[in-house]
Chains A and B, each alone.
Chain A
Amino acid sequence: MPVSKVLTRGIGQVDLRDLKVYRRRGGYRQWKRVITELQPAEVVDLVSKSNLRGRGGAGFPTGRKWGFLPNNGRPRYMVCNSDEAEPGTFKDRMLIEETPHQVIEGMLIGAYAIGAKQAFIYIRGEFKRGYEVFTKALADARDAGLIGEQLFGTEHGVEITIHRGAGAYICGEETALLNSLEGKRGEPRLKPPFPAIKGLYDEPTVVNNVETLAFLPYILKNGPEWFAQIGPPKSPGLKVVSVSGHVKKPGNFEVALGTTLRKLLALAGGPRDGRKIIAVQPGGGSSACLFEEHLDLSYDFDTMAANGTMLGSGAVVFFDDTTDFVKAAHALVRFFAHESCGQCTPCREGGHWLEVTLERILHGGGLDSDIDMLVAVARQLTGINLCPLGDSIEPFLASVVKRFESQFRGYVRKRAIAV
């Protein structure tokens, strides 16, 4: 069954940054309907029925996340996470820069659903243009009476504040993001308590990804059944997938979950001429590699998990037969070592020493035993840190060392011969 795109529809054809254009296409109608006709609990119910799972990386059911908020009469906050920095991911930047109004509408609906009067959007510091576009869109929406107090003649209202980050991958982790939003160092907090109980300023808080929130207007417009029947039942809906690496036409593609990896490769123009794809990283820098025999797997949360990797943020990187996987592993390990906040010793020290060891191998000073050590150290880093950053090093490293061990051994042997 053909599925029509929603989030990326019109991008590149019309200027969706223009409030008038967005409204002409039905924009903000769902926000008006929600605030004037629906109770917050009804909105939560509709979103739960749609089976929407978080598009930021963890894939947690959005309706359930909202349901964790306690009824304690305290102020609540909605936070939109636009600190997109997972290697290979560039979908949120596109959504912010190209269609800011659907993100704003999603934030307003989400905030209303959880009973928050104040919402924040945390925009990655590097997204200067995204910040400027969003600031303008927010001002336009405010002037049009779509944001603020007592909207559409009701007693309800939502205020939105933009918060600009300043360069730290770890602030994409929700509790680090909240610390950063409080004007502190972006260091993850000990959990529990989870943000739903004690989040921003110690009040109940929901942190949702840009793409997750952007789907809300369409789920309300087309009904939860529409969303739930797209793709696999437990992992349904549309997903904007960022495809890059060794492909002819990299880009963002909005597809139904359950599309095969091979189809994604075809959408991105296929491999470069005369080359063959031998590996694919399906869910950002933190995910384990899959290989050519996996290309017909269904791209959804559960199938990826069942195959020892994850859908993550939806960043798919294809590798062809020219790839130097020692260099690729080095790039990602260096990334995690660089981005470690330094709170937990295994992540701070382990990441660094893995980087140094890989550097040694690359420069021809490696030993055969280094290769086994890489995998052993990476494994020892996992599961013992405050946040998942330290755990993110092992999947890619271990999977490529196992599959392409000869490349790693090759570097070691080169040195042995030279000596």
Chain B
Amino acid sequence: MTASRGFAETLAKVKPEAEKLMAQYPQKRSALLSILHAFQNAEGWVSPEALAAAAEMLELPVSVVESTASFYTLFFRRPVGQYVLQVCRNLSCQLNGAEEIMAYCREKLNVRHFETTYDGLFSYEEVECLAACDRAPCMQVNLEFVYDLTREKIDEILRAMSAGNFEVAPLPQTAKPDVTWFVAHEGEKKSPGAQGVSSPNDPGGIGDPSGRQMVERIVRDPRLVEARPTAERLVRDGAARLEAGAEH
């Protein structure tokens, strides 16, 4: 992981804000989410240094802060692009053509869900309902809404972002982003089954009973990215079962 530059500067900026936030609550731990937001606003992501600093301010173990941060999808625990495009994939947007919009974004940016472009400019994610169903399909760019998406509109906003004259400000970028900012950890939120390993009976093998290392490897290794979607595998399994007459 790339270390972020000048964390001392960030901390000096965030600390007074954090003190104010902590004073708002009867118990200071309540300020945890707000403090992490403050760090992310300053750094563009929540670095390990930020997690440690938040833990110190709140007098909590770093593991507790990290565990809490990992629960929430809006905290980026690895560097992301300057523009984070979060396209809604939920029902009302789907009924109004979100699938085509997502396919177009992926093609145009040459990325998949949870990936950042090589120039570090765009991160792309497919997210759940953004509460803008009346203007579907929609997305958020750095949490600002862009409504009524069409191919032309996407061309237009991507052009504006590349040219640096888009209406939404870019995120600060204190470290170079990797291919993905997705972090998979053992025991975090979901079981191995839910983290993209195709069967709980088929995890990573000896020394990796929960499949954690396998998931990490799949996520990190660009050569293995092709193996990530479960769909191909499912089709193969289904076909094999049909051929074996499993159904009858």
Contacts and interface: CB of A to CB of B under 8 A. Distances in A.
Given A90-B132, A342-B191, A118 B68 contact: no
Interface string B123-160: 00000111111111000100111000000000000000
A136 interface: no
B194 A182 contact: no
Given A87-B129, A328-B94, A183 B30 contact: yes
B128 A128 contact: no
B73 A183 contact: no
A262 interface: no
A86 B136 CA distance: 15
A87 B230 CA distance: 25
A352 B192 CA distance: 11
A75 B27 CA distance: 13
A352 B193 contact: yes
A244 interface: yes
A332 B90 CA distance: 7
Contact of A182 (B27, B131, B189, B200): B27
B26 interface: yes
B91 A332 contact: yes
Interface string B92-112: 101110010000000000000
A317 B237 contact: no
Contacts of B90: 87, 285, 331-332, 335
A181 B27 CA distance: 10
Contact of B36 (A166, A339, A356): A166
Contact of A244 (B99, B134, B243): B134
A59 interface: no
Interface string A341-356: 1100000110011001
Given A167-B72, A363-B235, A339 B128 contact: yes
Among B133, B136, B200, B237, the most chain A Cβ lie within 10 Å of the Cβ of B133
Interface in A122-139: 124-129
A205 to B, nearest CB: 12
A368 B26 CA distance: 56
B152 to A, nearest CB: 21
Interface residues of A, number: 77
Contact of B34 (A75, A93, A164, A182): A164
A184 interface: yes
B85 interface: no
Contact of A338 (B72, B128, B242): B128
A168 B71 contact: yes
Nearest to A338: B128
A87 B235 contact: no
A416 B128 CA distance: 32
B74 A125 contact: yes
A245 B95 contact: yes
Contact of B133 (A125, A244, A419): A244
A354 B51 CA distance: 35
Main secondary structure, interface of B, reads helix
Interface string A83-102: 01111111011000000000
A250 interface: yes
Most-contacted residue by chain B among A161, A331, A340 (CB, 10 A) = A331
Contact of B235 (A323, A341, A364): A364
B129 A349 contact: no
A359 B230 contact: yes
For A185, A323, A365, A369, the residue with the greatest tally of chain B CB atoms inside 10 Å of its CB is: A365
Given A89-B131, A335-B90, A353-B193, A183 B95 contact: no
B72 A183 contact: no
A74 to B, nearest CB: 12
Nearest to A315: B133
B145 A129 contact: yes
B179 to A, nearest CB: 21
B163 to A, nearest CB: 23
A242 interface: yes
Contacts of A165: 33, 72
B227 interface: no
B14 to A, nearest CB: 15
Interface in A108-161: 118, 124-129, 161
The 5 closest A-B CB pairs, nearest first, are A365-B238, A183-B32, A166-B72, A167-B74, A244-B133
18 contacts: A85-B131, A87-B90, A89-B133, A125-B37, A163-B34, A164-B33, A164-B34, A183-B33, A184-B29, A185-B68, A186-B71, A281-B91, A340-B190, A349-B191, A359-B231, A359-B234, A363-B234, A419-B243
